[in-house]
Structure 1
Amino acid sequence: MMIILAIIGGVLTTLSMVINSSLGKRIGVLQSTLINYIVGLTFSVLVLLVVGSGMKIGFSELKSIPFYMFLGGVIGVSIVYSSNIVIPKIPVVYSTLLLFIGQIVAGILIDFIMMGEIATGKILGAVIMTVGILYNSWIDSKDQNA
């Protein structure tokens, strides 16, 4: 079940990037990023109301959470903003693969920092994927020039 949810999450992430970049082309990158998060906030509030869990976190609990744990929103805005710039300029498949390579590299670094281990298989996989993207990009540009 987790594999299916992860695949659905990947599909929705790619679809979200395409939809947001389309909106960005129409109204502007910053404006579409803002609208994306306003709609997301509205939907989150509606889900909380329907599910009924609400905000059961007090100020003291929020105060005890380390600052860096609140940076997810900042990172999310950065992702949406940069995707809105990149997606219209390169094919979606390349941007998706490049984002995936970035996730693998970040995962490798985080594993190294937190657990002190480096997964050579994952590094090799990231290198192979990067070479594949570069090769495919070279072939595509060669076909366009012909």
Structure 2
Amino acid sequence: MIYIIIAILSGVTIVTSRSINCVLADKIGMYQSTFFNYVFGLIGSFLLLLISGNTLQLFNSQSYSAIWFAYTGGLLGVVVVTLSSFLSSKISSFYLTLLLFIGQLFTGVLIDYISNGYIPIYQIIGGILVIIGLGYNLFIDNSFK
């Protein structure tokens, strides 16, 4: 039950942070809001690192032995946060959440293919079903306008 509560709270914080980033982007600019998002994220992450007591792991060479594309996550995060700040004022939060979900799903499929050499067919089927549902919902929304 705790995992369900954490998942729901995670979804709430994502939608809330996206709305706050949209307002902040309107006030100070899209790139500045992305910058402050990452500055405060870095401060929060550093505080959690200090609290956890694992600061010695920073100096362990084994901590930096991931596959090369794992290190591109920060750059991709900047792109996603910037696009989310830009798109939040253009499309509804529901559609933006679904688009981000689809992007995460197919990026996960791509990462599985690159790292393990196989394509998880059930994730692709699920992603296609979500895309069909999104398209149907967009069609219904546009039919009644």
Partner of 1:42: 43
1:12-32 C-alpha deviation (Å, 9 max, x unpaired): 222211211121122111011
CA distance in 2, matches of 1:61, 1:39: 27
State the SS of the aligned residue for 2:143: helix
Percent identical residues: 40
Change in CA separation of 1:65 and 1:123 when aligned onto 2, cut-off 3 Å: closer
Aligned partner of 1:44: which letter? Answer: S
* TM-score, normalisation: structure 2: 0.81
Q: Tell me if 1:133 matches 2:134.
A: yes
Q: Tell me if 1:124 matches 2:122.
A: no
* TM-score, normalisation: structure 1: 0.81
State the SS of the aligned residue for 1:34: helix
CA distance in 1, matches of 2:11, 2:63: 30
Partner of 2:88: 87
Q: Which runs of 5+ in 1 are unaligned?
A: none
CA distance in 2, matches of 1:49, 1:15: 26
Partner of 1:106: 107
Q: Which runs of 5+ in 2 are unaligned?
A: none
- Residue 73 of structure 1 and its aligned partner are, at CA, apart by 1.6
- Root-mean-square deviation over aligned CA pairs: 2.4
Partner of 2:17: 16
Partner of 2:31: 30
1:107-136 C-alpha deviation (Å, 9 max, x unpaired): 222222323333332222211211111121
- Residue 7 of structure 1 and its aligned partner are, at CA, apart by 3.4
Change in CA separation of 1:47 and 1:64 when aligned onto 2, cut-off 3 Å: closer
- Residue 63 of structure 1 and its aligned partner are, at CA, apart by 6.8
- Residue 50 of structure 1 and its aligned partner are, at CA, apart by 3.9
